[in-house]
Chains A and B, each alone.
Chain A
Amino acid sequence: MPEPSEFELSGRVTIGQYLPTGSVLHRLDPRVKLCMGLLLIVGTIGTRSLLGLAILMAAVLFGLRLARVSLRFALSGLSPALPFLFLLALLQVFAIPQHVAGSAVVWRWRFLVATTGGLFAAALLVGRFCVLVLGISLLSFSTNTTELTHGVEHLLIPLQRFGLPAHEFALVVNIAIRFLPILAREAERLMKAQASRGADLGRSGGGPVTRARRLLPLMIPLFLVSLQRADGLVEAMEARCYVGGKGRTHLIQLRARPVDMATLAACLGLSLLAIGLGTLGADAWLLHRLASHT
């Protein structure tokens, strides 16, 4: 397996990428998918139950299957975060004090105490992170940016009566997303150009000022290029009579079908179940069983 070049930025980040596999998931109304994403976030953060998390994870994995995304590829999106996650998990394990109800000591070495409560909290943390990353990745794999911004804009339209500039907001998001890969390519080109002149942008060491200065050959031209692009885009938009969201019509209209509503309902059900399991203390029962075994 060839080493990816130090300059190949765009390939290794999986979140935010769109994979056009044409599955059923891809054809759902983007507003529904956005709401599903929100429900997933709420469910994941709101649940205090590992069982609940497991159900949500199963749903996400099922979604990945439906969307015909290779599981391996999706999981590879987690790999950059693994060391950081491991550290956080360790912290959680040792941070929960042993007098918390239902928590028994599992392992002790000098001042480090691992309790079942700590282990549980760590598992919850790792689980939440994985479900969130995979879930958001699934959303981006199955929804291209056009659909996303249409979804956002149409969801926000009811709020226009309160003065929220739905169209401007959606346009800003749209353009920002569209220019991310363009700017990434520019950054890549600039890094290569400066490396060709002997610059060592990746080097560490030195105080914050030295490190910042080392990045100037990248940051300054990138900034200038971005401004140039912005200027160019503004001119193009003005030349095409853009004056803001007022009075605009739309070529694309969104229409929700029964399958969209059904999927949304299923998601709502799962999220509520996950939160419910937490509230009902399903895990306390699990914890109790674990504690009585040790």
Chain B
Amino acid sequence: MTAATEPLIRVAGLHYAYEAGTRPPISALRGIDLTINAGEHVALVGANGSGKSTLLRHLNALLLPSQGNVWVAGWNTHEQQHWRDIRCTVGMVFQSPEAQIVATTVEEDVAFGPENLGVSRSELQARVDWALRATGLMELRAKASHSLSAGQKQRLAIAGALAIRPRCLALDEVTAMLDPAGCAQVSAVITQLHRAGITIISATHDMGEAAAAQRVIVLDKGRIALQGSPREVFADDASLLAFQLDLPAATHMARTLARRLPQFPRDVFTVSELVDAIVVHAGVTS
């Protein structure tokens, strides 16, 4: 295998269990095998407690496997001396906008990461500017971080992760606590970053978001239950229900229509695709 085709992230036989008070240890991950290639956009879906967040935290060595291995750009997460390299390859953004902001101004919070790496002052400024531009926060650079809206705070968190110049961003339900406007802002930034070549691994509850990814991985009780393109994963309604998931709203409607109308497409994932399908179908039958 040449360097170009080497997967960015490789997970083999990953098991993870943790102590849980009076109950027996909880097995959060039960044998995960996975590869993620550079440039992919992967969505991780599953019910609460299925192991999405736990799996993500193994990808940047925040958690270590109880059993099995995780390799990031060739480095094994078990090896502490490589944690810095690993965390410079996979940046992570978390769900709660407030709880990941360290500094009091926007600029300084973005600089936190590269400051930790001992980057020189001129390079620091360059990286901060680049990250602020990529997330549309240039005008807000001197503002107090706590005065931003939730959507802006999440963009700030992304900028902070970007300033380390990672090849990959791991996103843990980053839009879950945002209102529609905030969601739209953050989704737009993520799409742009993916287009610029950054690998995106995004844990999400939003089925619409998942349908926009290249690959969807469904987790159920700590195992990978289903994996494939959105079309493949959303093909079987019944199994999704079993995993406590839902279809994107547009897909739901398309499937119901397809049951009563012959030849109506089943693999529709967005509102505009649905409308296009209706228009086409109306043209065909008239």
Whether A and B touch directly in their complex, counting CB atoms under 8 A apart, is answered as yes
Given the complex of chains A and B, what is the CA–CA distance between A229 and B91 in angstroms?
Answer: 20
Q: Mark A222-243, 1 if CB is under 8 A from B, else 0.
A: 0000001100110111111111
Chain A residues numbered 188-245 whose CB sits less than 8 Å from any CB in chain B: 228-229, 232-233, 235-243
B235 to chain A, nearest CB (A): 35
Chain B residue with Cβ nearest A235: B62
In this assembly, does A279 line the interface, its C-beta being within 8 Å of a C-beta of chain B?
no
Most B Cβ at <10 Å: residue of A228, A236, A239:
A239
In this assembly, does B201 line the interface, its C-beta being within 8 Å of a C-beta of chain A?
no
Contact B99 A238 (CB under 8 A): no
**Residues of A contacting B121 with CB < 8 Å?**
249-251, 253
Contact A249 B160 (CB under 8 A): no
Contact B118 A248 (CB under 8 A): yes
Q: Majority SS of interface residues in chain B?
A: helix
Binds A, one of B4-12, B70-78, B102-110, B253-261: B102-110
Q: Please tell me which one of the listed residues B60, B101, B111 contacts residue A251 in the complex, with CB atoms under 8 A apart.
A: B111
**Residues of B contacting A178 with CB < 8 Å?**
104, 146
Given the complex of chains A and B, what is the CA–CA distance between A247 and B117 in angstroms?
Answer: 7
Contact A243 B116 (CB under 8 A): yes
Q: Majority SS of interface residues in chain A?
A: helix
Chain B residue with Cβ nearest A245: B116
Contact A249 B105 (CB under 8 A): no
Contact A232 B88 (CB under 8 A): no
**Residues of B contacting A146 with CB < 8 Å?**
103-105, 108, 144
Interface size on A, residues (CB 8 A): 30
In this assembly, does B186 line the interface, its C-beta being within 8 Å of a C-beta of chain A?
no
Q: Please tell me which one of the listed residues B87, B103, B115 contacts residue A249 in the complex, with CB atoms under 8 A apart.
A: B115
In this assembly, does A252 line the interface, its C-beta being within 8 Å of a C-beta of chain B?
yes
In the complex where A146-B103, A239-B60 touch, is A232 in contact with B84 (Cβ < 8 A)? Answer: no
Contact A236 B100 (CB under 8 A): yes
In this assembly, does B96 line the interface, its C-beta being within 8 Å of a C-beta of chain A?
yes
**Residues of A contacting B60 with CB < 8 Å?**
239
Contact A241 B120 (CB under 8 A): no
Most B Cβ at <10 Å: residue of A149, A181, A242:
A242
In this assembly, does B128 line the interface, its C-beta being within 8 Å of a C-beta of chain A?
yes
Contact A249 B119 (CB under 8 A): yes
In this assembly, does A263 line the interface, its C-beta being within 8 Å of a C-beta of chain B?
no
Contact B117 A251 (CB under 8 A): no
In the complex where A178-B146, A233-B102, A236-B99 touch, is A248 in contact with B94 (Cβ < 8 A)? Answer: no
- Identify 6 new A-B residue pairs, CB closer than 8 A, beyond the known A235-B62, A243-B116: A144-B104, A233-B100, A240-B87, A241-B116, A249-B118, A253-B121
Chain B positions within 8 Å of A, measured between CB atoms, are 57, 60, 62, 84, 87-88, 91-92, 94, 96, 98-105, 107-108, 111-121, 124-125, 128, 144, 146, 157, 160-161, 164
Question: Closest 10 CB pairs between A and B?
Answer: A232-B99, A236-B100, A240-B113, A146-B104, A251-B111, A239-B92, A247-B118, A241-B116, A242-B116, A229-B99
21 contacts between A and B (CB under 8 A): A146-B105, A178-B104, A232-B99, A232-B100, A233-B100, A233-B102, A236-B101, A236-B102, A238-B62, A238-B87, A239-B91, A239-B161, A240-B160, A240-B164, A241-B87, A241-B117, A242-B112, A248-B116, A249-B119, A249-B124, A251-B124
